[in-house]
Chains A and B, each alone.
Chain A
Amino acid sequence: MSIRLLKAVLMKIGFWALVALLVCYAVFPFYYAVITSLKPSSALFQIDYWINHVDLSNYAAVLSQSSFVQSIWNSILVAFCVVGISLTLGLTAAYALGRVRFRGRGAVLMIVLGVSMFPQVAVLSGLFEVIRTLNLYNTPWGLVLSYTIFTLPFTVWILTTFMRQLPGELEEAAIMDGATPWVTLVHVFMPLMWPAMATTGLLAFIAAWNEFLFALTFTLTDSQRTVPVGIALISGGSQYELPWGMIMAASVIVTVPLVVLVIIFQRRIVSGLTAGAVKG
């Protein structure tokens, strides 16, 4: 065997080892959560690298807590409403910013980009006041409203990027056909924007589903909480006896939908992430 061939084989082995290492690094924590969640409490504290038990008692325990089930529903409600509102407002705004030249467009884009950089804690007290004034404290609606602070800017940003890529003659054809801007947006552009909207919707969904600080601050009672807060607040008898099995089961329950979404739509997510950042 020539040295060159040996070198090539070693390179190949090294490469695959690196790939394996990366995949392990990325996937193992979640995999470990799954293993833990499937253990009976008696086996919880022995270390396993493989699935040796399939015991659903942790899942049963978590799902029998009505507050946890309620928090899942709250999260779903909040995430879908946030996606709906962000896409609706984002699409109209993206039409204006992406297709019309007008004075102040740069300033609006600047504002949108600026808001996306706000630290959430910087608006915490003021937003708390707004939500209390609107009587939305301790309701999912308060969260829906507050989540738009981070979903709306990137929705607008990404949709604007996509909107700009649509051919200009298409819009002129619509103008020649006598379409108003609203008709153009709804009947000509929206059908072409579905891929972009799916991408942005996914990103907004994930962001809303994962949010923690606002959910922790603007809700008070178990029945109004979202899943991340619910999981963070699962506690056992004392601080040192956390019910890890249940926590992991809950974690797996809320994460599986996201992991499935990511695997199915990874191309879209990647294009959305890069459109939002690279092209911005």
Chain B
Amino acid sequence: MSFAAKSRPTEPGAYNQPAPRGRSTRVRRQRVRAAWLFLTPMLIVLALVAGWPLLRTFWFSVTDATLNSMEGANFIGFENYLIHDAGGWYGLLADPEWWNAVWNTLYFTGVSVGLESVLGIIVALVLNAEFRGRTLVRAAILIPWAIPTIVSAKIWAWMLNDQFGILNHLFMTLGLIDAPLAWTADASLSMWAVIMVDVWKATPFVALLVLAALQMLPSDCYEAAKVDGISPLKVFFRVTLPLIMPALLVAIIFRALDALRVFDVIYVLTSNSSSTMTMSVYARQQLVEFQDVGYGSAASTLLFLIIALVSIAYLYLGRRQLGGDT
């Protein structure tokens, strides 16, 4: 192993192992002790709001807990998940409503994240061009991101209103539709309404990440392409896209994780309608409205497992970055 003369202990990767015990200076020991001391408050809070509640959710999912008797819950094994009783299968895994929620969630995630990626790239490409007022445009693009989800859901609900909504009015003026559409109430349209709102709100996030990647691209390969007379479209697919792929993937994964747990936009826009019900909405309905903590926790647990799988896949891919260097 080679070493740099100027290796500093604070530089990640400067050396592989901490100094052997006992021989380390007082400073080093003090620093490591301080590090743990500094981490403790954060770790306690995370344990309190994340670790312990998660374990409780796991436990509730194998009990018959209800909202009023959470402490006195009895262990019932995996009955919340699946049970064969009286000649039929019951439980979460046999509940068509649950599978509907799973399908809705996946559909919502796939479509909205896909649209956000495409739109995000377009917005980023526009923002990457030099033009007067670019800062202002960038600020304008950020507005949807900053608006509270509830507010954007309400605004869109108003714009999508079947009788007085501006969108129906606009579409009819343009001759795109003949009669007003019941965007949020019509089962065949409501999912698209939800996706529309989510795309509007989340595209800026994707666009900003892609923009950051675009601005780090080396300009020389573009000049080379220009000199060679390659068409811009070809340059985009052959040069730009592969280079921004890592950033785009990060954005997609962040968005996908958000979309998989989507709750508020759907809750406000279409309430508990089964045509848009996602896993989170389903779980919360079981937990809070039906007060069936056991069953709802089982749904939460499954949602957690799905997201954990996606996260682990991501962490595994991004593990090298986690090693220390940024």
Q: What residues of chain A lie closer than 8 Å to B287, measured between beta carbons?
A: 121, 124-125
Q: What residues of chain A lie closer than 8 Å to B326, measured between beta carbons?
A: 161, 164-165, 279
* A254 is an interface residue with CB less than 8 A from chain B: yes
Interface members, chain B 146-167 (any A CB < 8 Å): 146-152, 154-156, 158-159, 161, 163-164, 166
Least CB distance, A256 to chain B, in whole angstroms: 10
* A108 is an interface residue with CB less than 8 A from chain B: yes
Question: Interface segment, B50-58, B82-90, B108-116?
Answer: B50-58
Q: What residues of chain A lie closer than 8 Å to B263, measured between beta carbons?
A: 120-121, 212-213
Check B52 against A126 for contact (C-beta < 8 Å): yes
If A32-B155, A180-B34 touch, whether A228 touches B148 (CB-CB below 8 Å) is yes
Taken residue by residue from 259 to 303, chain B's Cβ proximity to chain A (1 for < 8 Å, 0 otherwise) reads as 011011001100000000001100110011000010011001101
Top 7 A-B pairs ranked by shortest CB distance?
Answer: A126-B53, A126-B56, A119-B261, A181-B34, A96-B35, A168-B10, A210-B148
* A6 is an interface residue with CB less than 8 A from chain B: no
* Distance in angstroms between the alpha carbons of A280 and B144 in the assembled complex: 24
* Distance in angstroms between the alpha carbons of A114 and B150 in the assembled complex: 26
How many A-B contacts are there with CB distance less than 8 Å? Answer: 316
* Distance in angstroms between the alpha carbons of A37 and B146 in the assembled complex: 19
Q: What residues of chain B lie closer than 8 Å to A164, measured between beta carbons?
A: 12, 326
- Cross-chain contact of B155 among A100, A115, A251 (Cβ < 8 A): A251
If A23-B140, A228-B150 touch, whether A92 touches B41 (CB-CB below 8 Å) is yes
Interface members, chain A 84-105 (any B CB < 8 Å): 85, 88-90, 92-93, 95-97, 99-103, 105
* A69 is an interface residue with CB less than 8 A from chain B: no
* Distance in angstroms between the alpha carbons of A255 and B326 in the assembled complex: 34
Check B34 against A182 for contact (C-beta < 8 Å): yes
Least CB distance, A196 to chain B, in whole angstroms: 13
Closest to B281 in A: A121
Check A266 against B35 for contact (C-beta < 8 Å): no
* A76 is an interface residue with CB less than 8 A from chain B: no
* B226 is an interface residue with CB less than 8 A from chain A: no
Q: What residues of chain B lie closer than 8 Å to A153, measured between beta carbons?
A: 46
* B231 is an interface residue with CB less than 8 A from chain A: no
Check B296 against A125 for contact (C-beta < 8 Å): yes
* B194 is an interface residue with CB less than 8 A from chain A: no
* Distance in angstroms between the alpha carbons of A146 and B52 in the assembled complex: 12
* A259 is an interface residue with CB less than 8 A from chain B: yes
Least CB distance, B9 to chain A, in whole angstroms: 6
* A1 is an interface residue with CB less than 8 A from chain B: no
Most B C-beta atoms less than 10 A away, residue of A251, A254, A279: A251
Q: Could you say which interface size class chain A belongs to?
A: 35 or more
Check A127 against B148 for contact (C-beta < 8 Å): no
Closest to A46 in B: B164
Check B46 against A112 for contact (C-beta < 8 Å): yes
A interface with B by C-beta (< 8 Å): 15, 18-19, 22-23, 25-27, 29-30, 32-33, 36, 44-45, 47, 49, 85, 88-90, 92-93, 95-97, 99-103, 105-106, 108-115, 117-130, 145-146, 148-149, 152-153, 156, 161, 164-165, 168-169, 171-172, 175, 180-182, 185, 206, 209-210, 212-213, 216-217, 227-229, 231-232, 244, 247-248, 251, 254-255, 258-259, 261-263, 266, 269-270, 273-274, 277-280
Closest to A123 in B: B53
If A175-B27, A277-B251 touch, whether A254 touches B148 (CB-CB below 8 Å) is yes
Check B169 against A47 for contact (C-beta < 8 Å): yes
If A125-B300, A129-B70 touch, whether A278 touches B142 (CB-CB below 8 Å) is no
* Distance in angstroms between the alpha carbons of A180 and B29 in the assembled complex: 12
Closest to B57 in A: A126
Check A125 against B293 for contact (C-beta < 8 Å): yes
Closest to B16 in A: A101
Interface members, chain B 100-144 (any A CB < 8 Å): 123, 126, 129, 131, 135, 137-144
* B193 is an interface residue with CB less than 8 A from chain A: no
Check A118 against B304 for contact (C-beta < 8 Å): yes
* Distance in angstroms between the alpha carbons of A213 and B42 in the assembled complex: 23
